[in-house]
Amino acid sequence: MSGTADDRQTDTGAAWSFPMKGRTTFTWEYDTDRERLLALYQKGKDKQWDSTKRIDWSLEVDPYDVLGTPENTLALYGSRQYSRLNEQERRELRRHMAAWEFSQFLHGEQGAMICSARIVESVPDIDSKFYAATQVMDEARHAELFTRFVHDKIGMSYPISPHLKSLLGQALSDSRWDMPYLGMQVLIEGLALAAFGILRDRTDKPLPKQILSYIMQDEARHVAFGRLALRDYYKELTRREIAEREDFIVEGCYLMRDRLRMQEVWETLGFDMKECMEYMNRGPRMRAFRSRLFTRIVPCVKDIGLWGPRVRQAYADMGVLEMADRDLLALMKADEAQAEALDAERRELRERQHEVHGAIAEGRLTAADDDLTR
């Protein structure tokens, strides 16, 4: 990005700003027949929730074992660098990895909030504006609860990854209205949704499981929104316009893949950077983890029509081309069902606790009555 001083990005560490490009679009056509998007808008309204009430913030979190995942699932496990660490250093490594991971989730949610606000401003049709407005609230809620989790429960945070920052900057500085959709709804949200799912399924800690499950319930709608809106629009574009968006997809996917190497963690801890980065690139755990992270992105990219030879070749190079045939709707339904099941489980537990407390109180009353009659 170049130009006068007013055109350039500014980054003070505490804030990052740059001028937005593109148009603000009003529409005076309020009638719409896109029932699927309106149904998604209705669901977005129905599914609003308060993170201070739905999440049980009284649950304790061990900052040195945030997720409780087995040691052999850690990214550096099996490397020479990991073998040189003592027990305390391994505990510290767990804390830094969790702080980095949840900090990136937090930064991504703020990016999603800004991107969805941009969509409200620039998208030309009214039904998309309606739905995107509900998403702004969703993303604000997610940023709020990740802020609380990172600062109150882990007690350590990391700045935004340069790879995530680069993709956000590209999506938001593009003048075309669909690019924030493509960058956020398809790439960043798609990868985040898969990452949340991996951690949700691995953790045995109740607080992070609640946070991840409930956010995923929202994110499933967001990915569906981007998929529906872009699939319709991309049918109207020329071959050259499609090729430009496919170039963006390829570059964005490589950025998303590379941001997972946690370079900032190894630098902060003073690890051997060359050794760590080689292991993160070639290690068996990270290869498997990376492939799972594209389970939502690849079928969505195919579905919206950005499936030219360069995109397919990039996914083949990444080892994720087979993800194209995953059933995206089934995955999203499962995400929503898991959140509902967790709510039901927690309600049942509260009811049982209430019954136990009631039985104890009744027993005390009975004992007191017996004492009085003696």
Tell me the CATH number at 181.
Answer: 1.10.620.20
Report phi then psi at 11, rounded to 5. Answer: -140, 110
User: Global pTM?
Assistant: 0.86
Flag whether 89 is in a domain: yes
> Taking the alpha carbons of 20, 143, 329, 204 in that order, is the dihedral positive or negative?
positive
Does any domain span residue 30? no
12: in domain: no
- Which amino acid is residue 85, in one-letter code? L
Q: Is residue 72 part of a domain?
A: yes
Q: What is the domain count for the chain?
A: 1
Instruction: Identify the domain containing residue 97 by its residue range.
Output: 35-337
CA distance 330 to 231: 18
Q: Is residue 184 part of a domain?
A: yes
DSSP 9-72: -EE-SS-EE----S------------HHHHHHHHHHHHT---HHHHS-TTS---TTSSS---GG
Q: What is the per-residue pLDDT for 5?
A: 35
In contact, 208 and 66? CB cutoff 8 Å: yes
With both helix axes pointing from N to C terminus, report the angle between 206-234 and 189-202 in degrees, rounded to the nearest 10: 150
β-pair partners for 16: 11
Residue 11 lies in a domain: no
20 belongs to a structural domain: no
Tokens of 291: 């492939």
Predicted confidence pLDDT, tens digits, the chain (374 residues) = 333 334 567 777 778 877 767 777 787 777 766 777 788 888 889 989 999 999 999 999 999 999 998 898 888 999 999 999 999 999 999 999 999 999 999 999 999 999 899 989 988 888 888 889 999 999 999 999 999 999 999 999 999 999 888 888 888 888 888 998 898 888 888 888 888 999 999 999 999 999 999 999 998 888 888 888 898 899 999 999 999 999 999 999 988 887 778 999 999 999 999 999 999 888 777 777 777 888 889 999 999 999 999 999 999 998 899 999 988 888 888 888 889 999 899 888 888 877 777 777 777 766 666 666 66
pLDDT at 8: 65
CA dist., res. 342 & res. 259, Å (int): 31
> Does 93 map to a domain?
yes
- Which residues touch 252 (CB under 8 Å, ≥6 apart)? 167, 170, 182, 183, 187
pLDDT score for 192: 86
Nearest to 254 by CA among 310, 181, 332: 310
Q: What is the DSSP string of 124-181?
A: SSHHHHHHHHHHHHHHHHHHHHHHHIIIIII----PPPHHHHHHHHHHHH-SSTHHHI
